[in-house]
Amino acid sequence: MHWLIVEDALRDRKGHWFEADTTFYKGFRALGDEVVVLADAAVEADIRDSLAAVPILPPSIWHRAGDGSGRLTRYSRVLVHPWQTWRIMRRYLKANPQFDAIFIPTAGLYHVLAWLCLIKGTLRNRPARVLLFFTHLPADWDVRSGKAVRDGSPTAWLLFRLLRLLGPEIKSGKVVLGTEIESMRAAVEEFSGVPVTLFPQIVIPSDTSESVPQTLPDDIEMASYGPPRAEKGSDILQEAIAIHRHRFPDSRIRFTLHWTQDFVTNDGRKVVKSPDLMRDSRVQYLTHYFDHDEYEDRIRRTQVLLLPYRLNIYGLRGSRVVIEAVVNGIPVIATRGTALAGVVEAHGAGLFCEDGDPESLAVAIHEMGERYEEFSRLAKARAVSGAREFSAESFRRTFLEAGPGPRVARPRAIAQQMG
């Protein structure tokens, strides 16, 4: 199979796009498939070289979100970005007609409008199939009802209307809509009225041929990686660690917090590194972005991943990090009711804390420290089946099976998952 991966968010190391696209690239190639990656025209040189990426796409909307632009500028992008994408991709696809599968890993309104035109125009008489994959929606997770609610914006209405216009192509199997979260799959289906397929994320287990020694053999390294954000509960995590360190100053737990920048909560409060924790010898702040090798090294040395992500966001959103924990046999502490907690329940091992509750998280941290060996054994025992589930082969098979006709629920634990 010949894949074309079209990822305008592939530009730098912010977010998880580079890690995710690297996984797709390596995973499909390991199956014997050919893969071409298209990236932002300004993609960093080392990222471009590592994926042999073609840098031709317009600047990503994802990287411009929250840039302070006025309403007129933001709404103009709804037309400008699709037009730029359509123009570039039309030219590229005319010159390169060889692809069997065209994969847009981070689809949103700005992409769907362009691809609707391409699918009904340039690609209409070609055998290539298109996979539009959604990791974010213009919707919120209602904690009380446990259901997705559209955010009421004009752009949300337009997105689901455009997906409805793809109904004939989806029915024929030429177009596949995909998500990695069951709650999101159900929401897209409900709001658009067209079938959506649940896919596994692809995560390749870290190479453990060379073990990474811990600073002290009896220590437990608990960590949180990626830029801190309010929706990731980074402020809650700092408070919980402070509680734990105050109560258990002789604890064997060490903490590593990846803190590349300060952030602002939804109520306008700026969150900075804790001065008390910065002075604590058992707490380490990492303030630089990782390259791929360093991230792999960090994952290998981490014994527990701390993921107190907020329920109102992650009830309807997945996270690659929790899959990395599953396939590498790492116990997790996650927020109860989130998609992450569903993955841990179905495939991994860990404990759960209450949403936005530092005290609950501190209790879970202490319990994990007391029972770490038990959870570690369970996580490692389930890692082999988890690696099969979240593999390129599983993803590819799901794509090939997502043909015309009614969708049949896949008899897999992930279909119960995450929500």
Residue 418: per-residue pLDDT: 34
Residue 240 pLDDT > 50: yes
Burial 221-242 (b: 16+ CB within 10 A, else e): bbbbbbebbbebbbbbbbbbbb
Cα distance between residue 394 and residue 256, in whole Å: 33
Write 51-56 long-range contacts (CB < 8 A, 24+): 51/10, 51/21, 51/22, 51/25, 53/10, 56/88, 56/92
Residue 71 pLDDT > 80: no
Q: Longest Cα pair distance anywhere in the chain, in angstroms? A: 68
Residue 405 pLDDT > 60: no
Whether the Cβ atoms of residue 104 and residue 131 lie closer than 8 Å to each other: yes
DSSP H or E segment with residue 139: strand 139-142
Mean pLDDT of the chain, nearest integer:
90
Structure tokens given for 294: 């360093």
Q: What is the dihedral of CA 81, 85, 87, 89, to 10 degrees?
A: 180
Whether the Cβ atoms of residue 412 and residue 343 lie closer than 8 Å to each other: no
Question: What does the DSSP 8-state code read for residue 414?
Answer: G
Cα distance between residue 266 and residue 244, in whole Å: 25
Residue 349 pLDDT > 50: yes
- pLDDT digits over 150-203, tens only? 988 888 999 999 999 999 999 999 999 999 989 999 999 999 999 999 999 999
Map out the domains of the chain with their CATH numbers: 2-202+391-410 (3.40.50.2000), 220-389 (3.40.50.2000)
- pLDDT digits over 10-22, tens only? 998 877 788 889 9
In this prediction, residue 31 has a pLDDT band, given cuts at 50, 70 and 90, of: very high
